[in-house]
Amino acid sequence: MIALLLVVLTACSSGSGSGSSQKTIVLGTSADYPPFESVDATNGNNYIGFDIDLAKAVAKQMGYKLKIQNQDFNGLIAALNSNKLDFVMAGMVDTPEREKQVDFSKTYYNEYQVVLTKKSANIKSVNDLKGKKVGVQLGTTQEALAVKLNKTIPMKLQRWDKLNEMAEAMRAGKLDAIITVGSVAYGYTNKDKSLEQFRALLNGKPQADPISAAFPKGSKLKAQFNKALATLQKNGEVDKLVTKWIKDQK
């Protein structure tokens, strides 16, 4: 009986990490948004990208083991507030509307919104989107921008869960354009020379997207994340990841 009790106690003390002092935190992401996050179909369907590498580095710096949960972008905040996730990194932009629901880390990358389209579509500015079928990803700042543009430039807005599915729809002629961000659009224009992108201007101004990690309101992990992020920024690790995943795509 004593031997059995010792086995049970040992199992209970092992925790979710590889050692008794290591805990696991769950990252929520939407792995259809390269170069920030995607599924590497050629290598065991592992999750790869800038956000993934940065999340791993931050978790290691914080002393946690990382578990990744993939789902549609539009449901990430709800999952976060249902305690199904500890934090979210999914190219998510810190906006006043989202700040009402979650807490955000310090910004770790700044992006710009763009229009991705076929060269043959002859769409060169947001004004050319009038009457066109334009795709946006549900729950994104690109959807919010499209709604604002639609007030003065009426277009046929289509809302999708996944950006890669929108890209396929555009190639098939079901969409005329997609509103996304620059580095994501580059992932398509670099591989497919029939595509192009340009900055999406609102009232003549480019739209910047400050990308941050999201946490449940009042989460203690936010302060730990910011501290670890500052260390990685100071020692140059974040710059290395930017160069690896993003800078070469501009």
Token readout for 226 is 């910011």
- Hey, what domains does the chain have and what are their CATH numbers? 23-108+212-249 (3.40.190.10), 111-209 (3.40.190.10)
CB 126 within 8 A of CB 201: yes
| pLDDT value at residue 21 | 64
Cα(203)–Cα(201) distance, integer angstroms? 6
| pLDDT value at residue 249 | 57
Q: Which residues of 98-126 are buried (b: 16+ CB within 10 A; e: fewer)?
A: beeebbbbeebbebebbbbbbeebebeeb
Q: How many CB atoms lie within 10 A of CB 137?
A: 26
Using CB atoms within 10 A of its CB, is residue 72 exposed (0-12), middle (13-18) or buried (19+)?
Answer: middle
pTM: 0.80
| pLDDT value at residue 20 | 46
Token readout for 49 is 């990208």
Alpha-carbon distance values, 158 to 37, 185, 235 (Å): 23, 18, 43
CB 156 within 8 A of CB 131: yes
Report strand pairing: 32-33 vs 37-40: antiparallel
Per-block mean pLDDT, blocks of 10 residues, the chain (250 long): 42 38 91 95 93 98 97 96 97 95 97 96 97 96 96 97 94 96 92 94 93 97 98 97 80
Query: How many residues can be counted in the chain?
Result: 250
| pLDDT value at residue 22 | 73
CB 28 within 8 A of CB 36: no
pLDDT in tens, 83-110: 999 999 999 999 999 999 999 999 999 9
